[in-house]
Amino acid sequence: MRTKNIYNPKKLILLVFIGMISLSGCKKFLDINQNPNNPNTVDPNLLLPTAQIAISQVVGNSLQVYGGMWSQFWTQGPSANQYKPIDLYAPANTDSDRPWANLYSKALINSQLIIENKGSNLEFLKGMAYLTKAYSFQIATDAFGDIPLGEALHADNVKPKYAAQELVYDSIFNYIDKGVALLSVTGSNNPGAQDLFFQGDVAKWKAFANTLKLKAYLRLSKVNPAKASAGIAAVYATGTPFLTQDVSIKYTSVGGNDNPLYNEIVALGRAQNLVASSTVVNQFVANGDQRRFKFFVLRSGQTEITSIPQGSYNANAGKLVSLPAGLVGANPSTSSNAALAPVKLFSSSESYFLQAEAAARGWASGNVTTLFTKGITESFTATGITDATVISNYLATAKDGPLALAAAVTPEAKVKAIITQKYYAMCGFQGFEAWTEYRRTGYPDFLVVSVAPPTGTTTKPQRMVYPNSEAIYNGNFPGNVDIFTPVWWAK
């Protein structure tokens, strides 16, 4: 049956021909790799809110918990487990992965991409990005000590070297100066509503820059007082006012736009992980401080804030302990309005306490008592206490109030009174900053060692552990540092 098939060669030629057409059409056929889901470029104004939200997430959630517990406003609740390693002084390296990544690959990189943008009339935006970057780097170094700085934030360098904390601080001052200079350029476009901190108010940004610089120089008070005093003198010399308002993002009850700590608590099934620590509650009681009923909530049937000693969750199983109030975001109940709680990147009372300290140390002008008292009244106002008699009663009678400042003779004693008051004002609002100032000054002096760590532990944490991700992936990781080792400015 082998008949010769005359169609065959033609058929083969046809096939080869089809094949060649296919090949030449191939390029177009395969040119479909443009991502329809995400853009490859965006307006830099769109990056600013992300950077601001990211720093607020770090300060308001993860660092708020560490700071809130290590400054002993809060302790681990007996009916839950989430933060036991913090009270145990045994945080895992992996626990630092998230805040570190949110700082570097969210807050800082998006600020950096704004700064590097080639567009025109972006000076204001870039100024804000520089200041966000400065603030973020300070948070990072205060938490971890030496950190990647100059070699950081470059896509082509996956093992950035670590910079000494002293150098980080120098850079922070430099970034602030650059930011202020850019904010002074005329003719720049204003990001307006894209700026979640000040809605484009350049004057407020300058006050932010000034207050940030004051805070940063004061951080050097122990390690390098000469530099601190000179720097502060220069800050005052500019004549720019300091912040008279909180710096915070206005959260709403919309899921994903709510207070980040509350949002976390919701996602954790509203477990009662954070409860009142006796360290701060006992002092509030001793001072007759009405703010305690604002920072914490009474349990049903109780008339006083119930607290447990720091780290004593095991000994208090089943005990009804007061929870932080919705005001500070750490309350699990929907009705507490915790969703709306602000994350304070700066508070107005903090601004006054910083100025009071600069004056008390003799590094700046200003009436210490006035500034100190203003700090206290701002704090009362921030908790919603507007009754003048409650405030004046506190000012007149509280042992740690103006009485303490009046009794103080040395600058150190004045600083003690100021930082102790600042500590009260920061209860639940600014846990990380309170803990950081404790590390710098040793005040307040009534903090205890958590009872959770192994018997014999006598020291308190001085830094956060480096993230596991750096230890594993950064070839220039300098090695873990014990959490009880002070950072450079606390030495």
Partner 1 sequence: MKKLILSLFVFLSIAAAALAQDRTITGTVTGKDDGQPIPGVSVKLRGAQGGAQTGADGKYAIKVTAGATGLDFSSIGYVTQYVALKAGNVISVSLAGDSKSLGEVVVTANSIKREKRTLGYSAPTIKTAELTEGGNPSAITSLTGKVAGVNITSTSNTPGSSSRIVLRGGSSISGNNQALIVVDGVPIDNSTTVGGASDLASVDFGNRGNDLAPDDIASVTVLKGPAAAALFGSRASNGALIITTKSGSKGAAKTDITLTTSNTFSSVLKLPEFQNEYGQGYYTGDDVGKPLLVNGVYQYTNDPRENGSWGGPFTGVVQPWGQAIDGVRQQKAYSAVKDNVKDFFKTGFATDNNLSFSGGGDKSTFYLGLNALNSDGPYPGKSDTFNKYGVRFNGTADFSNKFSAGVSFNYVNINSNNVGGGQGNSSVLNNVYQTPRDISLTGLSDLTNKYNGYGYVDGSGRRHDGEYGYYGAYTQNPYWILKNFVNNDNVSRVTGNFNISYKPNSWLDVKERVGIDTYSDRRRLLSPKYSFIPGDDGASGFYTAGDLRSFQGGYEIDQANVTELVHDLMVTARHKFNEDFEGSLMLGNNIRQRSTNFNNTATNTAGGLVVADFYNLSNSNGPVNILLDQMSKRRLFGLYADLNLSYKNFLFLEATGRNDWSSTLPVKNNSFFYPSVSTSFVFSELLKGSSVANWLTYGKVRGSWAQVGNDTDPYQLTTDYRRGLISGGFGTTILPFGNVPGFMINPTLGNPDLKPEKTSSFELGTELGFFDNRFSVDFSYYKNNSKNQIIAVPIAASSGYSFGLVNAGEIQNKGVELSLRGTPVKTTNFSLEMYGTFTKNKSMVVSLMPGVDQISLGGYSGMSIVAAVGKPYGEFYGLTNQTDDQGRTVINASSGLPVRTASAQYLGSYNPDYQASFGTTFKYKQLSLAVLFDTKQGGKFYSRTKNILGFAGSSAITGGERMNQIWPNSVYIVNGQSVVNNSVTYNKQDYYTNSANVFPGVDIVDASYVKFRSASLSYVFTKDQLKRTPFGSLAVGLYGNNLFIWTAKENKYADPEINSSGAGNAQGFDFTAQPSVRNYGINLKVSF
The answer to the question of residue 42 lying near partner 1 (CB under 8 A) is yes
241 or 255, CB closer to partner 1? 255
336 or 349, CB closer to partner 1? 336
The answer to the question of residue 484 lying near partner 1 (CB under 8 A) is no
Q: Show contacts with partner 1 in window 215-234 (CB under 8 A).
A: none
Instruction: Give the residue, chosen from 304, 388, 407, 473, that forms a contact with partner 1 under the rule CB under 8 A.
Output: 473
Instruction: Give the residue, chosen from 21, 94, 370, 387, that forms a contact with partner 1 under the rule CB under 8 A.
Output: 94
Q: Show contacts with partner 1 in window 436-465 (CB under 8 A).
A: 451, 454-456
The answer to the question of residue 47 lying near partner 1 (CB under 8 A) is yes
156 or 389, CB closer to partner 1? 156
Stretch that binds partner 1, among 166-174, 204-212, 257-265, 401-409 (CB under 8 A): 257-265
The answer to the question of residue 20 lying near partner 1 (CB under 8 A) is no
Instruction: Give the residue, chosen from 148, 326, 428, 461, that forms a contact with partner 1 under the rule CB under 8 A.
Output: 148
Number of residues that bind partner 1 (CB under 8 A): 120
Judge whether 438 and 352 are in contact, CB under 8 Å: no
Stretch that binds partner 1, among 88-96, 166-174, 207-215, 361-369 (CB under 8 A): 88-96
Q: Show contacts with partner 1 in window 281-340 (CB under 8 A).
A: 299-301, 312, 314-318, 320, 333-334, 339
Distances in Å between the Cα of 348 and the Cα atoms of 139, 209, 242, 379 are 19, 14, 9, 8
The partner residues of 207 in beta bridges, in order of sequence, read none
Q: How far is the CB of 34 from partner 1 (least distance, A)?
A: 8
1 or 226, CB closer to partner 1? 1
Instruction: Give the residue, chosen from 123, 142, 246, 264, that forms a contact with partner 1 under the rule CB under 8 A.
Output: 264
Instruction: Give the residue, chosen from 224, 245, 270, 290, that forms a contact with partner 1 under the rule CB under 8 A.
Output: 270
Binding mask 384-423 for partner 1 (x = CB under 8 A): ----------------------------------------
Q: How far is the CB of 14 from partner 1 (least distance, A)?
A: 11
Q: Show contacts with partner 1 in window 150-169 (CB under 8 A).
A: 152-155, 157-160
The answer to the question of residue 190 lying near partner 1 (CB under 8 A) is no
Q: How far is the CB of 189 from partner 1 (least distance, A)?
A: 16
42 or 203, CB closer to partner 1? 42
Instruction: Give the residue, chosen from 59, 69, 108, 330, that forms a contact with partner 1 under the rule CB under 8 A.
Output: 108
The answer to the question of residue 21 lying near partner 1 (CB under 8 A) is no
65 or 235, CB closer to partner 1? 65
Stretch that binds partner 1, among 267-275, 281-289, 369-377, 401-409 (CB under 8 A): 267-275
| SS3 per-residue string spanning the chain | CCCCCCCHHHHHHHHHHHHHHHHHHHHHHHCCCCCCCCCCCCCHHHHHHHHHHHHHHHHHHHHHHHHHHHCCCEEECCCCCCCHHHHCCCCCHHHHHHHHHHHHHHHHHHHHHHHCCCCCCCHHHHHHHHHHHHHHHHHHHHHHCCEECCCCCCCCCCCCCEECHHHHHHHHHHHHHHHHHHHCCCCCCCCHHHCCCCCCCHHHHHHHHHHHHHHHHHCCCCCCHHHHHHHHHHHHHCCCCCCCCCEEECCCCCCCCCCHHHHHHHHCCCCCCEEEEHHHHHHHHHCCCCCHHHHEECCCCCCCCCCECCCCCHHHCCCCCCEECHHHCCCCCHHHCHHHCCEEEECHHHHHHHHHHHHHCCCCCCCHHHHHHHHHHHHHHHCCCCCHHHHHHHHHHCCCCHHHHHHCCCHHHHHHHHHHHHHHHCCCCCHHHHHHHHHHHCCCCCCCCCCCCCCCCCCCCCCCCCCHHHHHHCCCCCCCCCCCCCCHHHC
The answer to the question of residue 102 lying near partner 1 (CB under 8 A) is yes
The partner residues of 370 in beta bridges, in order of sequence, read none
